[in-house]
Amino acid sequence: MAEGKKSSVIANYYRNSIEFTPLVNYRVLRAGHIVTSPNFVVKRDSVAGHEFILSLHGSGWVEIEGKTFKVRAGQLVWLPVRLTHGHYPAKDDPWEIQWIRVDGEKLNNFMNFLDIETNPIFDPRDQIKVAAIFSEILLQMPLRDFSADLRSEICITELILIMLNSRSGENIKSANHMHKSLHRLISHVQSHYSDEWSIEGFLRYCQVSKSQLFHLFNTTFHQSPMKWLKSYRMSQARRLLVETTDSITEVGQQVGYNDPLHFSRDFRLLNGMPPSEFRKKEKLTHR
């Protein structure tokens, strides 16, 4: 329940989960920007998804299963809203917040990995970048097309990476050096996904043992390293098929496939249709 007679709602967007293309992993269901009054209160038993809250100015409190956490300006909150939860501003310094509610089957894995129920507050090293990510998602929310869904998904991925990185000095469930190695590897691969990659290449860059590498990917993504790489390449291929007029062969080459038949086969296996059919369907849907 929300109360706040003098609160100023700057933006408020809502989307139903069925409105999204099924090809994205993360769906931003709600997003908003509000300047709160001292009396603004949100308390709920359970809703779908996960909420990320950014305190732009002022301070406030979040509650999870009866436990209370203070939030300062510039801090980022992961609120597991499937649990009993709430949030409200400090009476003497009411906050201005941007917030997004995200749904995705792998978010629970990240939540457990980061021990969110007992430690939901993050101090991002680059607050300007975090604010830019929230602003970009708010810009994409009213567009409601495949490109907007994909851009929002990329923003959520970047936000999760920032949260992972901000915990690099803390004792979370995985060892610190393994955690930093995974973040470094993922960031590098996402910038060089068209390069030739192998398990040996992952190991050289990540500098962990083979068993540790597979453990990190299985606990974080529920995929092996190479399956994760293939999924990421295909997400980029879907984007290129919609946003460019490049040939199927050129798209395949840009995401690391020198053999167009191999690219088309993998694309069909992961997306249920060949790349040419996917391009035609998406452009008809969103023209």
Considering its fold, how many domains does the chain have in total?
2
The answer to whether 87 and 68 have CB atoms below 8 angstroms apart is no
Is residue 187 domain-shared with residue 142, that is, in the same domain?
no
Full domain range(s) for residue 76: 2-166
State the average pLDDT over residues 22-39: 92
Question: What SS3 class is residue 143?
Answer: coil
Is residue 88 domain-shared with residue 141, that is, in the same domain?
yes
Is residue 150 domain-shared with residue 178, that is, in the same domain?
no
Does residue 275 have a pLDDT over 90? yes
Where on the phi/psi map is residue 46: left (φ > 0), alpha (ψ -120 to 50), or beta?
beta
Is residue 161 domain-shared with residue 187, that is, in the same domain?
no
Is residue 78 domain-shared with residue 106, that is, in the same domain?
yes
Q: State the average pLDDT for the chain.
A: 87
Confidence of residue 175 (pLDDT cuts 50, 70, 90): very low
Classify residue 145 as exposed, middle or buried by CB count within 10 Å of its CB (0-12, 13-18, 19+). middle
Which tokens belong to 221? 């993504």
Q: Which of 58-67, 233-242, 244-253 has the lowest mean pLDDT?
A: 233-242
Count the Cβ atoms, other than its own, within 10 Å of residue 177. 12
Is residue 150 domain-shared with residue 284, that is, in the same domain?
no
Which of 166, 194, 225 is a domain's end point? Answer: 166
- Per residue in 138-162, pLDDT tens? 999 999 888 889 999 999 999 999 9
Question: How many contiguous H segments (helices) and E segments (strands) does the chain have?
Answer: 10, 11
Is residue 7 domain-shared with residue 146, that is, in the same domain?
yes
Q: Residue 210: which CATH number? A: 1.10.10.60
Confidence of residue 248 (pLDDT cuts 50, 70, 90): very high
Which tokens belong to 158? 């970047």
Which tokens belong to 31? 């997003």
Is residue 150 domain-shared with residue 209, that is, in the same domain?
no
- Per residue in 43-71, pLDDT tens? 999 888 999 999 999 999 999 999 999 99
- Amino acid letter, 223: Q
pLDDT, position 258: 92
pLDDT, position 174: 47
Is residue 21 domain-shared with residue 148, that is, in the same domain?
yes
Q: Residue 97: which CATH number? A: 2.60.120.280
Does residue 118 have a pLDDT over 50? yes
pLDDT, position 4: 43
Paired strand residues for 111: none
CA diameter of the chain: 64
Given CA atoms 270, 272, 275, 280 in this order, what sign does their dihedral have? negative
Which of 142, 166, 190 is a domain's end point? Answer: 166
Is residue 202 domain-shared with residue 162, that is, in the same domain?
no
Is residue 161 domain-shared with residue 178, that is, in the same domain?
no
d(Cα 89, Cα 217) in Å, to the nearest integer?
38
Confidence of residue 168 (pLDDT cuts 50, 70, 90): low
Which of 166, 193, 216 is a domain's end point? Answer: 166
State the average pLDDT over residues 229-253: 92
Question: Alpha helices of 24-91 — where are they, by DSSP H?
Answer: none
Is residue 242 domain-shared with residue 283, that is, in the same domain?
yes
